[in-house]
Structure formats: structure tokens, C-alpha cells
């Protein structure tokens, strides 16, 4: 996703590749549950909520409107990128 041309004004191609390498070296992986309940109005997004729940994530970072529309009804907190950065600054 970060390789899309629309992001070039924010981050260079080299920086994206460096970030992906950095993330890959530190990431923990988990399997998508075999049963994925319906959470959103877009069934293609439901696996993200299921994966966040099964892995014990504190929140899900996304700009996808179907996930953000869940609001307080979300089974896991959904944060925009700017909300996530604020959480990091607060040390949470």
C-alpha cells in the first residue's frame, strides 16, 4: 500500500522499503482464524478485526472507512494513523 504513487509526496520509495525491512525484522505473525465473523459492512475487512482479536492486539490502525465506522461498537479499537501517532506520543 505504501508503494502507491499517491504516497510519494509523503515518503520516498527508499524510505518505504527501509520501513518494510525494519517492520519485517520486528513483526510478530499470527494466523487468520478459520472462522471469521461478520463485523463490518465490507466482508473483505472482517479478517482484520478477527486477526486483531485473535492476536490480542490493543488496536487496529486503518484509514478504511468500514473499519472506522465501527466506532465504539468495534470489538477492538480502530485508530486512524494520526490517532495512533498520538497514542505513541503519550506512551500508551
Q: What is the pLDDT of residues 48-89, one digit of tens each?
A: 999 999 999 999 999 999 999 999 889 999 999 999 999 888
Decide: 60 and 48 in contact? Cβ < 8 Å: yes
Q: Assess whether pLDDT exceeds 60 at residue 10.
A: yes
Decide: 62 and 48 in contact? Cβ < 8 Å: yes
Residues 51 and 20 in one domain: no
Q: What is the pLDDT of residues 16-51, one digit of tens each?
A: 999 989 989 998 888 888 889 999 999 999 999 999
d(CA 7, CA 1): 9
d(CA 32, CA 49): 10
CB count in 10 Å sphere of residue 22: 10
How many distinct structural domains can be found in the chain? Answer: 2
Most distant pair of Cα atoms in the chain: their distance: 39
Residues 51 and 85 in one domain: yes
Instruction: State the residue range of the domain holding 56.
Output: 33-92
Amino acid at each position: 500500500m505504501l508503494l502507491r504513487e499517491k504516497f510519494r509526496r509523503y515518503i520516498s520509495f527508499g524510505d518505504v522499503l527501509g520501513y518494510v525491512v525494519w517492520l519485517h525484522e520486528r513483526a510478530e505473525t499470527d494466523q487468520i482464524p478459520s472462522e471469521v465473523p461478520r463485523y463490518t459492512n465490507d466482508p473483505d475487512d472482517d479478517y482484520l478485526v478477527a486477526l486483531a482479536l485473535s492476536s490480542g492486539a490493543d488496536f487496529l490502525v486503518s484509514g478504511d472507512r468500514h473499519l472506522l465506522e465501527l466506532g465504539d461498537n468495534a470489538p477492538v479499537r480502530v485508530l486512524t494513523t494520526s490517532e495512533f501517532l498520538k497514542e505513541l506520543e503519550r506512551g500508551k
